[in-house]
Structure 1
Amino acid sequence: MSEREPRVVVGVDGSPGSRAALRWAVRYAEQCGGEVTALMAWSAPVFVEAMPMPPIVSDDESRARAEWELRKAVDETTALLATSARVRREVVRGHAARALLDRARGADLLVVGSRGHGGFVGVLLGSVSMHCVSHAHCPVVVVRPDDG
């Protein structure tokens, strides 16, 4: 039997689905004595020539915003659940699915929301969760917003 505590990686983007996934992951980690890594990925905005150009946001501002959003989600969730589970926060630059798959290498479980920011209304699985389910090297739990 391994003495290592189970490692759970959860994707967080601030959406209702990711908030539910974070709650699920924290509850699971508390029950099994594991540690949660809450991961938020960010990328620079993409501009399309036909669209009006939005205000330019620096990489530092984008990263700071992602760190703030993640800290808020984790702090609110851990306070709500009054949990003793350890939750580490990690913000990385890059595509969400790739970042989650990379961070979940060697993890015991990857938890994602069924839909985050983006996607099409009515789609049951978002592109990130579908990609994770298809390519992860560990079990993946997909949590719907009303499941958390």
Structure 2
Amino acid sequence: MDEVREVVQVEGGVVVGHDGSKCAQEALRWAGRLARRADVELHVVRAWSMTSAPQPATWEPGYVPPLADWEQAVRDELAAHVVAAGLDPACRVTTHVVHRAPVPGLLAAAEGASLLVVGARGRGGFAGLLLGSVSDQLVHHAACPVTVVRTGAQGRDFTTDEAGAVVGE
């Protein structure tokens, strides 16, 4: 295994932040559909720390595994979330894990992206907030457009004409 990564850089495509939450899973599905329709790469990014990572298989009482083991546990969990999302098999997906706080980790990944997608609320925050603190910071500071996907949001259906323009409901 390579060194534990603290930064990921992508060139184009859609970056979606994933923290293991229900909102993140819905954002992943949404971003996957968009990436497939646009025929661009989907980059799924998980920022992690030892406190937010799943316990590695090498963990045992009295022994703290090396960071590489924690990173592998995060990779395995993220891969399982991607499979559970049921993305179109034609969607080109790359997963990335970064040992960094979510906001700087996602901001760095989004620098070269065409779009950043996140869930409205992740594992932290107050129950009543529409935007979580991470999504709020990303909306204000990302170098690319940001879409925040709300859990259970019901959008209107629309169709397009032959030129691709939206033509009502």
Q: TM-score range with shorter-chain normalisation?
A: 0.7 to 0.9
Q: Higher strand fraction: Structure 1 or Structure 2?
A: 1
Residue from 69, 91, 106 that aligns with 2:77: 69
Q: What whole-Å deviation, never above 9, does each CA across 1:28-63 have from its counterpart, x for those lacking one?
A: 0011111110000111339xxxxxxxx875433432
- C-alpha deviation, 1:68, in angstroms: 1.5
- Residue among 87, 104, 108 paired with 2:110: 104
Contact kept, 8 Å, 2:12 with 2:112, in 1: the verdict is no
Structure 1 residue 147: Cα displacement? 4.0
Conservation of the 8 A alpha-carbon contact between 1:19 and 1:145:
no
Of Structure 1 and Structure 2, which has the larger fraction of its residues in helix? 1
Per the normalisation by structure 2, the TM-score is 0.73
TM-score normalised by length of structure 1: 0.82
Q: Cα RMSD over matched residues?
A: 2.3
Kindly indicate whether structure 1 or structure 2 has the higher relative contact order, using CA contacts under 8 Å at least 6 residues apart: 1
Query: 2-side partners of 1:83 and 1:115: how far apart?
Result: 27
Residue pair 2:43, 2:96 contacting (<8 A) in 1 also: yes
Structure 1 residue 90 and structure 2 residue 118: aligned? no
> Residue 91 of structure 1 aligns to a residue in which SS?
strand
Identical aligned residues as a percent: 44
SS of 1:121's equivalent in the other structure is coil
Q: Distance in 2 between matches of 1:139 and 1:40?
A: 19
Gaps of 5+ in 1: 47-54
- Residue pair 1:36, 1:86 contacting (<8 A) in 2 also: yes
Conserved? CA contact 2:125–2:132, under 8 Å:
yes
Question: Which protein shows a greater Rg?
Answer: 2
1:68-94 Cα distance to aligned partner (Å, 9 max, x none): 1110111222xx243311010001100
Where in structure 2 are there 5+ consecutive unaligned residues?
A: 1-10, 53-61, 155-169
